[in-house]
């Protein structure tokens, strides 16, 4: 235990949610676990390529909550055009009724507003999918969680409306912490689409966002999950997605990370019963001196389950990315079908990618594959485009965008694709004139 540990634990609301015994139990368990763990260093295997210097060197620290939660001028950030969704918005960690949807959302409730039945669901599921002794920032989130969101879909119910949960940060006088918590529970045969949207205004950020999502996907249920990290590059975000799959369950996920001072995303999926499928697609695009780290771990514990995981990254300037994808096939997981692909494009000689796809197999009747590539822009393709009257700068933007466009085209929600395509195109071109062929 260090002063730094105690400082981070201080970032919790004084308004304890005492009405929920599950929150109190989670806080105690998280505090105990967090105090027993050392902060990761370069000697920590899972963090060897991800430095926490920008996090630990902040003299003022992140042991406080935001002082203001002003929603003025944030409407354009929270809204995803043409998306049919019920929206819950949080500004600097506090719920904003002004920016959220006016309609009541039957299937979504804040922990603090949960009725007796919903409290029982929270108590039965909250914290049960996370091995917090392996995820120090998940333990910290457990310790500091005071409120959160429950998405609960009953047996055989298929939600027609999407659920959008947006966390917005704005610059404060002093650095601050946001502990965001989401619990998704889909019962047998249920179906839902949930969009997690992390964004900020254009001001230089001084926040630390610690966001943890748990999902319990019941038998023959399906969860479509989008997680969009679109925060300003001065921010720091740690987070994790922890998923338990029941028999014949489906988990389809799209992960987007633009990078910041530090972005760390842990994705953990457990195939627990049999017949379940996991589809994870991810895109990361750091620039300048940003750092982004994706660590995924897929546990195939039983037979007849499938996984398809595809991540693509584009690194520019002096940015750095880390990808570690692990698929673990247990001895009883016969008839497993699993694939893992990570492809990377370096736009600068100063950009860095550390990639490590892993297959750990203890069963003998499986079909598994994994691979990683690192490349630069194709000179012949660039020359071809220039020979057709396209400038060198435009050609670079088109080739870069084409590297990830295949993944974007497969997104089920047109509104999400239409939101992120111009953001990514502008990130490549940094000039709207250069986007005219791909806008």
pLDDT tens digits along 11-70? 776 554 445 788 999 999 999 999 999 999 999 999 999 999 999 998 888 989 999 999
d(CA 345, CA 399): 10
User: Does residue 283 contact residue 311 with C-beta atoms inside 8 Å?
Assistant: yes
Residue in 154, 222, 165, 224 with CA at minimum distance from that of residue 191: 222
Residue in 374, 341, 368, 338 with CA at minimum distance from that of residue 357: 341
DSSP letter at 158 equals B
Phi and psi (nearest 5°) for 75? -55, -45
Q: CA angle at residue 350 from 348 to 354, to 5 degrees?
A: 95
SS3 155: coil
SS3 331: coil
Which residues have a Cβ under 8 Å from the Cβ of 120 and sit 6 or more positions away?
A: none
85 — pLDDT class (breaks 50, 70, 90): very high
d(CA 342, CA 359): 13
Q: Provide the mean pLDDT of the chain.
A: 91
172 — pLDDT class (breaks 50, 70, 90): very high
Q: State residue 431's pLDDT score.
A: 56
d(CA 381, CA 398): 10
Phi and psi (nearest 5°) for 339? -140, 145
Token pair, residue 160, equals 């027609």
Euclidean distance between the first and final Cα of the chain, in Å? 51
SS3 47: helix
Domain borders along the chain are 3-273, 380-439
Beta pairing partners, 283: 256, 312
Residue in 376, 374, 372, 339 with CA at minimum distance from that of residue 356: 372
Element (H, E) at 153: strand 149-153
Q: State residue 400's pLDDT score.
A: 77
User: Does residue 195 contact residue 228 with C-beta atoms inside 8 Å?
Assistant: yes
SS3 395: helix
pLDDT average, residue stretch 151-161 = 95
1 — pLDDT class (breaks 50, 70, 90): low
d(CA 132, CA 113): 26
Q: State residue 18's pLDDT score.
A: 47
d(CA 92, CA 171): 9
Token pair, residue 140, equals 């910290």
Q: State residue 395's pLDDT score.
A: 75
Beta pairing partners, 265: 239, 294
Provide the whole-model pTM: 0.94
Q: State residue 315's pLDDT score.
A: 92
Whether the pLDDT of residue 265 is over 70: the answer is: yes
Token pair, residue 78, equals 């929270």
d(CA 438, CA 397): 9
Strands (E), 231-385: 236-245, 250-257, 262-271, 277-284, 291-300, 306-315, 320-329, 336-346, 352-361, 366-375
Write the pLDDT tens digit of every residue in 292-346. 999 999 999 999 999 999 999 999 999 999 999 999 999 999 999 999 999 999 9
Q: State residue 397's pLDDT score.
A: 72
Element (H, E) at 420: helix 414-429
Q: State residue 429's pLDDT score.
A: 59
Whether the pLDDT of residue 396 is over 80: the answer is: no
Beta pairing partners, 223: 192, 251
């Amino acid at each position: 235990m260090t002063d730094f540990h105690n400082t981070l634990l201080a970032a919790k609301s004084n308004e304890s949610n005492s009405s929920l015994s599950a929150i109190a139990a989670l806080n105690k368990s998280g505090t105990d676990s967090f105090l027993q763990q050392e902060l990761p260093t370069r000697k920590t295997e899972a963090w060897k390529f991800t430095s926490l210097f920008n996090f630990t060197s902040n003299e003022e620290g992140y042991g406080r909550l935001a002082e203001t939660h002003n929603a003025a001028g944030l409407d354009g950030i929270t809204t995803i055009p043409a998306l049919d969704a019920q929206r819950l918005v949080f500004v600097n960690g506090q719920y904003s009724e002004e920016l959220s949807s006016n309609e009541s959302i039957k299937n979504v409730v804040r922990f603090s507003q949960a009725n007796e039945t919903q409290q029982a669901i929270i108590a039965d599921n909250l914290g049960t999918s996370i091995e917090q002794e392996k995820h120090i920032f998940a333990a910290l989130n457990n310790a500091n969680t005071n409120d959160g969101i429950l998405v609960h879909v009953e047996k055989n119910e298929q939600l027609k409306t999407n659920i959008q949960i947006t966390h917005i940060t704005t610059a404060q006088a002093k650095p601050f912490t946001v502990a965001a918590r989401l619990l998704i529970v889909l019962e047998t045969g249920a179906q839902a689409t949930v969009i997690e949207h992390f964004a900020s205004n254009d001001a230089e950020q001084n926040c630390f966002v610690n966001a943890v999502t748990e999902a319990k996907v019941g038998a023959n249920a399906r969860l479509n999950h989008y997680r969009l990290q679109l925060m300003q590059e001065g921010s720091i975000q740690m987070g994790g997605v922890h998923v338990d799959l029941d028999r014949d369950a489906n988990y389809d996920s799209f992960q987007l990370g633009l990078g910041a001072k530090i972005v760390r995303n842990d994705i953990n999926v457990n195939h627990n019963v049999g017949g379940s499928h996991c589809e994870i697609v991810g895109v990361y695009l750091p620039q300048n001196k940003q750092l982004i780290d994706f660590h995924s771990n897929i546990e195939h514990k039983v037979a007849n389950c499938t996984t398809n995981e595809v991540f693509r990254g584009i690194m520019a300037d002096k940015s750095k990315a880390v990808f570690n994808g692990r698929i673990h096939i247990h001895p009883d997981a016969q008839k497993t079908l699993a694939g893992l692909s990570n492809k990377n494009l370096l736009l600068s000689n100063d950009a860095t990618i550390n990639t490590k796809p892993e297959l750990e197999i203890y069963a003998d009747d499986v079909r598994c594959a994994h691979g990683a590539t690192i490349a630069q822009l194709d000179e012949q393709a660039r020359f071809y485009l220039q020979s057709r009257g396209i400038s060198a700068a435009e050609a670079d933007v088109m080739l870069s965008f084409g590297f990830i466009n295949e993944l974007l085209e497969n997104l089920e929600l047109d509104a999400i694709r239409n939101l992120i395509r111009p953001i990514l195109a502008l990130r490549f071109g940094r000039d709207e004139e250069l986007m005219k062929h791909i806008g």
